[in-house]
Amino acid sequence: MPRALIILAILIAAPGSVLPQTKPATDEDEVKAVFLFNFAQFVEWPPEAFQAADSPIVIGILGRDPFGVYLEKTIENVIVNGHPLVVERYSSVKQIQTCHILFINPGRTVKIENVLRTLNNKKILTVSNVADFTNQGGMIRFFSEDEKIKLEINLNAVKASNITISSKLLQLAEIVE
């Protein structure tokens, strides 16, 4: 084993190592970003949701972006079923052209009811952490319980958009009809 590798292994294993320690991903927004990435792997869109067989899966953020660069780092160089993943940010629902997963973070200019009405029957998986989101017609809601991020899924809204969610993802969620 080369001497440099032996020294590196000792430094990594040593308590109080001089190498920088990586912080575990405990931040709530980082966990949500990973969920958004995983949705791309456990959701199927109808073929007409893509312009071409290799078109990207677009993860959109409408309103204030709580993820920063973490979401881009999470999806960097990832391809799901032949589709690269990309992130787009929108300040208005009118800016959305092609989007597959949309995280909606409401504010003064972004109102949930207006967004859902505008996106009605489009092939966009809508996601938010707003308390009444699934009851208003949203598809997936993040919520915290026992210091864990959990999911609530409105199956009727998902089916109306002709989107299919894997049973593996459905098992993790509370289902709302």
Residue 121 per-residue DSSP state: T
Instruction: Please report the pLDDT score of residue 18 as a whole number.
Output: 33
When pLDDT is cut at 50, 70 and 90, the band that residue 152 belongs to is very high
For residue 11, the Cα-to-chain-centroid distance in whole angstroms is 36
From the list 106, 102, 130, 82, the residue with the least C-alpha distance to 39 is 102
Count of residues making up the chain: 177
- pLDDT single digits (tens) 50-108: 999 999 999 999 999 999 899 999 999 999 999 999 999 999 999 999 999 999 998 87
When pLDDT is cut at 50, 70 and 90, the band that residue 147 belongs to is confident
- pLDDT single digits (tens) 37-50: 999 999 999 999 99
Answer with the residue of higher pLDDT: 109 or 106.
106
- pLDDT single digits (tens) 111-139: 898 899 999 879 999 999 999 999 999 99
- Taking residue 73's Cβ as centre, other Cβ atoms within 10 Å add up to 11
What's the pTM? 0.83
Reply yes or no on whether the pLDDT at 16 is more than 60: no
When pLDDT is cut at 50, 70 and 90, the band that residue 177 belongs to is confident
Reply yes or no on whether the pLDDT at 4 is more than 70: no
CATH homologous superfamily of 24-176 equals: Response regulator (3.40.50.2300)
**Domain map of the chain by residue range?**
24-176
- b/e map 88-107, b = 16+ CB within 10 Å: bebeebeebebbbbbbbbbe
Q: What are phi and psi of 124, to 5 degrees?
A: -120, 125
Residue 126 contacts residue 119 (beta carbons within 8 Å): yes
